[in-house]
Structure 1
Amino acid sequence: MSFSPFDHPVLSGLLGDDETARHFSALAEIEAMLDFERALAEAEADQGIIEREAAAAIVAALGTFKPDLAALKAGVGQDGVVVPELVRQLRAAIGKPHDKAVHFGATSQDVIDTGLILRLKPVIAHLDATLSEVTDRLAGVEARFGSRLMMGKTRMQAAIPITVADRVRSWREPLVRHRKRLDEQRGEMLVVQFGGAAGTLEKLGDRAPAVRAALAAKLGLADAPQWHSQRDRLADFASLLSLIAGSLGKFGQDVALMAQAGGEIVLQGGGGSSAMPHKQNPVAAEILVTLARFNATQVSGMHQALVHEQERSGAAWTLEWLILPQMVAAAAASLRQAKALAGQIEAIGT
């Protein structure tokens, strides 16, 4: 049983995206956190913070480490975060004398936030690639049918004749802008989070900047000052996820209305009816509207999560955990459905 329709064994056929879902699994999250701990040990050994023997022991242990998921579940129920129990298990696996070198100078939020960014990196690449594919398919529709005429509608009433190209451009051009926005955000957001207990990296002294830079490099991320309580990058990303879904929702709404009127568009395939076998319902178009409205309602929660009191908030941080993965899934599913829908257009206009 699943609480989320995005990874539901049945509903995910409509609302899910397998490529995105795998990056938000529990195992993917743990793997990203272990990548952080491995890179941290290596970076600290490079800078003389911990012994090289300790780093080697940590890396070796991580190669075979299998977390106790039941203990992690109990630990997060008590501590509010998974990292204390995860670090306890890691230290037990490494054993003395090097166990205390694990996680040195870091805090739970460093591990979890950087783990999120590591997982968002391939997700952003996937979103960008699918945006490109949808844009290309719509350009193909425009190239095939763009010179045909159709009735332009304002306020859902007949206005004046327009070309198919006029309508298709209103679907395609926002997606081109979203790719540019995504590229800009990629540079801003794919940065390491490393601040220690309260953001000062006090245990590392004057070697803190060098350790952080080395950590970022080993993880394939950009270096940046700590951002424990600065959540604007993630809120910006959530806003873009809503824009992507919203623009695709406009595409879906238009197609559904054109299919309803009859004669304006011909779609290949469609959803069947259990009671009316003759029907071909515009399922992909409809679900684009649903997902657009879903992300539009969720984005306000990510803006609520900007309010991180002092140096760390448990409440606002947990709110992000509830909302952001679902918004990513909704945007990815929108792109998947839009790609399919654009490919179903057999004719449009007259």
Structure 2
Amino acid sequence: MNPLSRQDHLFGALFADPEVESRWSSERFLSAFLTFEGALARALAESGVATAEQAGAAAEDIASFAPDVAKIAAATLVDGVPVPELLRQLKAHCREESLPAIHRGATSQDLIDTAFVLILRDINALLEARIGSVIDGFAALDAKWGAGSMMGRTRMQAAVPILVSDRIRAWTAPLRDHLRSLTAFRPRLEVLQFGGAVGNRSALGPDGEAVARVLGCELGLGEPGRGWHTERGVFAEYAGLLSMISATLGKFGQDICLMAQQQDGELEMLGGGTSSAMPHKQNPVLAELLVTHARFNATMLPNMHHAMIHEQERSGAAWTLEWMTLPPMTVTTGKALLLATELQGKIVRLGG
């Protein structure tokens, strides 16, 4: 939502993560929507709700369908979601024999929530790899400088000497915990949304559960045994984990900022930022950005808690707030991990 964070903006290099952002593109959502519809057609046939011929025709029609993206975008302001216009176009494109296997038993929220989950699955794999890289970077610093000494500081005052390894451990250990937490959390997050109009799978009668099981398998997602249209706690927990990851990186950045300020010979870095008025300065820009990104995610976290409050069987307001909040948090976390790796590479000496 922040125009300054666009990768093509003058300030974009401070905030943008094109690799994560690309996962949230319109094209990625449309691909996920159509993947859902194709998987649903197969699940309907396997469960006996539609015939194999109907599902096969649907698959062919979905594969040959080219949506009018501009028209979908324009209709989204009217409908609040892009799915109704997408389905109008898709059904108009489909042959008559395909229609019994198109969108049967599903609703817009099923497509959108499942698309979110599919996108987050890709992002989670990327975040796991990046966290691992940052951990490896700290291990390299520890191997080179860990045995040296530096002044320990409590409440920003000199305390007693510590090993460089002690401080690096405080940067690394939480990241290891976060990596384990993310890996363990993914099966709870990466699950199918399939509830139908009011979330209870009633449109398919007794076949709803069977269709959901097959649909989950087709998409490679867990099947939670129910629709979870108004149960947003898992997304809020995930946002909390993103905030913890960025906060841990923010602690690393804050420590580097303070070490740079102390000028006591315990830190030497390359490539600090320059000043237009004071050419002698070497500003710790990368470290400062880690603090900024941590604070941004911390301020976004309450939004995800607000987004848990849905009225009755679906909330437009709370649901939309979730869309405004969670994608930027993933971008911020991804960018922070890139910044941390870059900052590690600038450190040429730690310890006195």
- What is the TM-score of this pair, normalised by structure 1? 0.96
> Residues 347 and 210 (structure 1 numbering): CA distance in 2 closer, same or farther, change over 3 Å?
same
Q: Partner residue of 2:334?
A: 332
Q: Partner residue of 2:251?
A: 250
Q: Partner residue of 1:75?
A: 75
Q: Partner residue of 2:7?
A: 8
Q: Deviations over 1:248-294 (max 9, x none)?
A: 00100100111122222111223333444443322110100000000
Residues 1:214 and 2:214 are matched in the alignment? yes
Q: Deviations over 1:276-335 (max 9, x none)?
A: 444332211010000000000000000111111221111110000000000111111111
Q: Is the 8 A contact 1:198 1:311 kept in 2?
A: yes
Rounded to whole Å, the distance in 2 between the matches of 1:211 and 1:271 is: 57
Q: Is the 8 A contact 2:148 2:164 kept in 1?
A: yes
Q: Is the 8 A contact 1:6 1:326 kept in 2?
A: no
- SS of the aligned residue for 1:266 comes to strand
Rounded to whole Å, the distance in 2 between the matches of 1:218 and 1:349 is: 54
- SS of the aligned residue for 1:161 comes to strand
Rounded to whole Å, the distance in 2 between the matches of 1:280 and 1:61 is: 60
Residues 1:309 and 2:311 are matched in the alignment? yes
Q: Partner residue of 1:191?
A: 191
* TM-aligned CA deviation for residue 199 of structure 1: 1.4
> Residues 168 and 26 (structure 1 numbering): CA distance in 2 closer, same or farther, change over 3 Å?
same
Output the aligned Cα RMSD. Answer: 1.4
> Residues 273 and 100 (structure 1 numbering): CA distance in 2 closer, same or farther, change over 3 Å?
farther
Residues 1:238 and 2:236 are matched in the alignment? no
Q: Is the 8 A contact 1:65 1:93 kept in 2?
A: yes
Following superposition of structure 1 onto structure 2, how do residues 146-185 of structure 1 map, counting pairs within 5 Å?
A: 146-185=146-185
Rounded to whole Å, the distance in 1 between the matches of 2:4 and 2:332 is: 10
Rounded to whole Å, the distance in 1 between the matches of 2:17 and 2:327 is: 12
Amino acid at match of 2:63: G
Q: Deviations over 1:27-71 (max 9, x none)?
A: 111111111111001111111212222222221122232211221
Larger mean Cα displacement after TM superposition, 181-190 or 197-206: 197-206
Q: Partner residue of 1:46?
A: 46
Amino acid at match of 1:7: R
Amino acid at match of 2:65: F
- SS of the aligned residue for 1:98 comes to helix
Q: Partner residue of 1:23?
A: 23
Q: 2:323 aligns with which of 310, 321, 324?
A: 321
Give the percent of matched residue pairs that are identical in Structure 1 and Structure 2.
Answer: 47
Rounded to whole Å, the distance in 2 between the matches of 1:308 and 1:69 is: 29
- What is the TM-score of this pair, normalised by structure 2? 0.95
Q: Partner residue of 1:294?
A: 296
Q: Partner residue of 1:107?
A: 107
> Residues 223 and 29 (structure 1 numbering): CA distance in 2 closer, same or farther, change over 3 Å?
same
Following superposition of structure 1 onto structure 2, how do residues 87-98 of structure 1 map, counting pairs within 5 Å?
A: 87-98=87-98
Rounded to whole Å, the distance in 1 between the matches of 2:348 and 2:326 is: 36
Q: Partner residue of 2:36?
A: 36
Rounded to whole Å, the distance in 2 between the matches of 1:269 and 1:56 is: 59
* TM-aligned CA deviation for residue 200 of structure 1: 1.6
Rounded to whole Å, the distance in 2 between the matches of 1:229 and 1:31 is: 24
Rounded to whole Å, the distance in 2 between the matches of 1:172 and 1:32 is: 36
- SS of the aligned residue for 2:96 comes to coil
Rounded to whole Å, the distance in 2 between the matches of 1:101 and 1:177 is: 45
Q: Partner residue of 1:261?
A: 262
> Residues 170 and 7 (structure 1 numbering): CA distance in 2 closer, same or farther, change over 3 Å?
same
* TM-aligned CA deviation for residue 100 of structure 1: 4.8
- Which structure 1 segments of 5+ residues have no match? none
* TM-aligned CA deviation for residue 7 of structure 1: 3.1
Amino acid at match of 1:191: V
